[in-house]
Chains A and B, each alone.
Chain A
Amino acid sequence: MNSLILSTGARFLVALFLVFSVYVLLRGHNAPGGGFIGGLIAACGFAIHAFASGVAEARRALRVDPRSIGTWGLICALIAGLMAGPLGAAPFQGIWAEIAGYKISSVLLFDIGVYLAVIGGVLTLIFALEDLGEEVG
């Protein structure tokens, strides 16, 4: 699509969407938000980029094949869920550790995994559909 307004606006919007998605991801720990919605917002950012500057450009901006992002997201989430096993906890139970005064947990890893899986999955679909659209139209 060749629209000056869209491509100019997209520069700001994409950055805004990505920052906001990370905010929502982290906020999800104790308040509404989380990996799923955060991933959708980030995917929206790249989708706008794809509409404004074409799929090839959006793929370049993403740097990694969205399918790989999705797969690694799934792996992160699974590791977070399985980690509880050797420690004698229930599946997906949160495992906590304290490093230098900061508490970190497998819950965050799970959320990041979901975040990546959603970005990967949604962008795979959107890019494939856009490719198809460019071929036909």
Chain B
Amino acid sequence: MSWILALPILAPFLTAALAFLLRNRRGSGWVSVLGAALSLVLAVRLLLAVLEHGVIAGQMSAWPAPFGITLVADYLSAAMVLITAIISLAVAIWAMAEIGQTSTRLGWHGLFQTLIGGVSGAFLTGDLFNLYVWFEVLLISSFGLLVIGGRRQAIDGAVKYVTLNLISTVLFLCAAGLTYGATGTLNMADLHRAVAAHPDPGLMTVIAVMFMLAFGLKAAVFPLFFWLPASYHTPHFAVSAVFAGLLTKVGVYALIRSFTLIFTHDQGYTHQILLWTACLTMLSGVLGAAAQSDFRKILSFHIVSQIGYMVLGLALMSPLALMGGVFYLLHHIIVKANLFLIAGVSRRLTGSSDLYAIGGLYRSAPLLAVLFLIPAFSLAGFPPLSGFWAKYVLVRASLDAGMGLVAFVALLTGLLTIYSMTKIWAEAFWKPHPNGSWPRLSDIPARPRWLMLAPIIVLAAMTVLIGIFPQPFISFATIGAGQLLDPAAYIETVLRGRAS
């Protein structure tokens, strides 16, 4: 089992090393694409193993749990790893059209694969300190990706990003140290037992809130989100897409994992905070977006508001709500990455991502317009797209919990999301270009055009597919949520090896 778990992490790192070595040759981008394809195969193999066994765990270096580093995959982890591989492949292909000679020579593809390796590692680890290490890997590689392609603006965004993420990492490290001091273990499965049995629940709650702050900063929840819109609109579009799709989700995943598996001893307190955070995150993100006029800035603020929905699923802690949260997480990664890729194509066609300076795309590039509408409507929650089911489940779960106000906020956020999407539609697609040009998709040479469009089409098709046939995905998310709510199988699988 341990190799099935380790290979989806090792493959991106191997690809990264090869891409670094070949950075002065032409093949660097293809190495990245092939590596991403290999990761996808390995992720599918992992998912199949999880579907067969429920939860699988493996010990690195064969040191038994809870002492060695554990890798664990339950439904949620396996699905996250698979979707990471899908986004990685899509962006690796798309990046071939965007990333030029200079960035390639600086090692862009290597850094990109390192980031993917870090994300997969964070989703698979069953150990808090190991999670910290993956966060560091993510931080270093994402800093590199932000700076490469660097105009002055990019450095400015990157510095904000790194400073705030460093604060989060330090908090995480302090909290991990306190946890170890208080309980003597950092293995997540073992912590489930140790935290519940600890004689001082107040201390555990303090530590829990420290983790909440650290992960919340990573996930960009209210009021810790301001670094995100300040940095996501500056780097290459391929970087924005993979950040938007995956990076904040690592924070959300860490929140979900730690507040379903480890810190469940005082839900009246911790999950109440999460609930209010979720509502305020939804609202502040969507209101922030309404004030923006840059394609990517609007999308960045929407990441924040959508994170609110996922945290809401966690905060309600009912089977239906957690299922909605998991479903939302998976659907949103595809939709958001795709919207940023589309923003990249529109930038290439119209020369800017300032909505007031561009236009005319509906008439000159109708294919792009259709491809934009699918994820945009899905984001806002239009039936029959994937976002509709995600929102429907969460609203239903809030009503079931007797929280009408929360349901109202969720619906209002959906409505305001349509407002921003309409704004992009009206400005970038409908009105004529201010300088009178009609940029066509066929103006882009065939090779980069299809390198860019193919991933977008596939991701949009997935959005439609999930929307029309939600049943298998919903039943998958239901089992995943069940595993989160009752972690007995997870803990048993991890700690079983202890005696042997």
Partners in one complex: yes
Binding site for B on A (CB under 8 A): 67-68, 70-71, 74-75, 78, 81-82, 85, 89-94, 121
Determine the chain A residues whose CB is within 8 A of the CB of B58 once the complex forms. Answer: 90-91
13 A-B pairs with C-beta separation under 8 A: A67-B107, A70-B20, A74-B17, A74-B20, A78-B17, A81-B10, A89-B62, A90-B3, A90-B60, A90-B61, A91-B6, A92-B60, A93-B62
State whether the Cβ of B493 lies closer than 8 Å to any Cβ in chain A: no
Bound CA span A93–B63, Å: 8
Decide: B140 and A121 in contact? CB cutoff 8 A: yes
Please report the C-alpha to C-alpha distance between residue A38 and residue B59 in the assembled complex, in whole angstroms. 26
Residues of chain A within 8 A (CB-CB) of B59 are 90
Do B2 and A90 have beta carbons less than 8 Å apart? yes
CB-contact partner of B61 in A74, A75, A82, A94, under 8 A:
A94
Report B's interface with A, CB cutoff 8 A. Answer: 2-3, 6, 10, 13-14, 16-17, 20-21, 58-62, 107, 110, 140
- Which A residue sits closest to B62, measured CB to CB? A90
Q: 7 other contacts beyond A78-B10, A89-B62, A90-B2, with CB at 8 A cut-off?
A: A71-B17, A71-B110, A74-B13, A78-B14, A85-B3, A90-B58, A90-B59
Interface centre among A71, A82, A85 (most CB of B within 10 A): A71
Chain A contacts for B13, CB-based, 8 A: 74, 78
List of B residues within 8 angstroms of A74 by Cβ: 13, 16-17, 20
Q: Which residue of A lies closest to B147 (CB)?
A: A128
Bound-complex Cα distance A78 to B113 (A): 14
Q: Which listed residue, A68, A71, A91, A121, touches B10 by the CB 8 Å rule?
A: A91
In Å, the complex CA distance between A122 and B338 comes to: 34
Knowing A67-B20, A71-B21, the reply to whether A93 touches B61 (Cβ < 8 A) is: yes
Bound together, the chains give a CA A81 to CA B9 distance in angstroms of 12
- In angstroms, how far is the closest chain B Cβ from the Cβ of A1? 23
Specify which chain A residues have a CB less than 8 angstroms from the CB of B2 in the assembled complex: 90-91
Query: Which chain B residues lie closer than 8 Å to A121 at the CB level?
Result: 140
Q: Inside 8 A of B14's CB, which chain A residues have their CB?
A: 78
- Cβ-defined contact, B10 with A82, below 8 A: yes
CA distance A81 to B61 in the complex (A): 9
What chain B residues lie within 8 Å of A75 (beta carbons)? 17
B116 to chain A, nearest CB (A): 14
Of all A-B residue pairs in the complex, the 4 with the closest CB atoms, nearest first, are: A91-B6, A90-B62, A71-B20, A92-B61
CB distance from B139 to the nearest CB of A (A): 12
In the complex, A74 Cα to B21 Cα: how many Å?
A: 11
CA A85 to CA B62, docked complex, whole Å: 12
A106 to chain B, nearest CB (A): 10
Set of chain B residues within 8 Å of A93, measured between Cβ atoms: 61-62
Q: Min CB distance, B323 to chain A, in Å?
A: 32
**Minimum C-beta distance from A86 to chain B (A):** 11
